[in-house]
């Protein structure tokens, strides 16, 4: 599984980085970092929760 953020949609609400800091972090510009990155199996459930809670549907998950 991989996760990415569409930075054009991101509001910078920090929800994803608070729910799943192992995968998501905020850039210096205040928006979540974008590039696709692998998600460790033990982080997959919480990563999906972060995806479900993104108000802009800016998180992109590929299985
Ligand atoms: S939850 Fe969504 S809108 Fe909020 S910082 Fe993360 S990617 Fe951006």
Closest C-alpha residue for ligand 1 atom 6? 16
Give the E-state strand segments of 1-63 in sequence order: 2-5, 37-38, 59-62
Q: What is the pLDDT of residue 39?
A: 98
Is 34 within 8 Å of 5 (Cβ atoms)?
yes
Sequence-distant (6+) residues with CB within 8 A of 17 are 24, 25, 26, 32
Domain boundaries, the chain: 2-62
- What separation in Å is there between the alpha carbon of 34 and the centre of ligand 1? 10
d(CA 45, CA 57): 17
First to last CA, the chain: 4
Which overall architecture, per CATH, does domain 2-62 show? 2-Layer Sandwich (3.30)
Q: What is the pLDDT along the chain (63 residues), one digit of tens a residue?
A: 999 999 999 999 999 999 999 999 999 999 999 999 999 999 999 999 999 999 999 999 999
- What separation in Å is there between the alpha carbon of 40 and the centre of ligand 1? 20
Residue 6 near ligand 1, beta carbon < 6 Å: no
Residue 5 near ligand 1, beta carbon < 6 Å: yes
């Amino acid at each position: 599984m991989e996760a990415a953020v569409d930075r054009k949609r991101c509001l910078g609400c920090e929800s994803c980085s608070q729910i799943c800091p192992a995968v998501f972090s905020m850039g210096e510009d205040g928006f979540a970092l974008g590039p696709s990155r692998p998600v460790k199996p033990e982080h997959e459930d919480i990563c999906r929760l972060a995806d479900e809670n993104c108000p802009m549907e800016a998180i992109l998950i590929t299985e």
